[in-house]
Amino acid sequence: MLKRDHVTVGEIANLYSQPSWRIRRCVDELNVEIPRAGQYRLVPRSLLGRIAVELERRGWLPAGDVASDHVEPKTEDRQEAASP
């Protein structure tokens, strides 16, 4: 499977179960140039941890919900989870 270097605001919102406007607000306040593809912000995956910390700081993400790996599970993890 191809791992993308960027994710959209909507994908991040789904990942953290947050409304898109909260993610946009956090991304906009990172003071990092975020590339766009049309109307979509293409957020580098490397910023997911900073976004999670900002969500937590604002009280929008419960403390301790910030995982060490903020991306989709590794292939092996998915296979183990699918096994009975």
Per-residue pLDDT of 30-83, as tens digits, reads 999 999 999 999 999 999 999 999 999 999 998 776 654 454 533 344 444 444
What is residue 4's predicted lDDT score, i.e. its pLDDT?
A: 87
69's enclosing H/E stretch is none
CA pseudo-torsion sign 28, 34, 36, 40: negative
Identity of the residue numbered 30: L
Domains observed in the chain? 6-68 (1.10.1660)
Q: Cβ distance 13 to 20 under 8 Å?
A: yes
Instruction: Show the CA angle centred on residue 53, arms to residues 48 and 58, nearest 5°.
Output: 125
* pTM of full prediction above 0.75: no
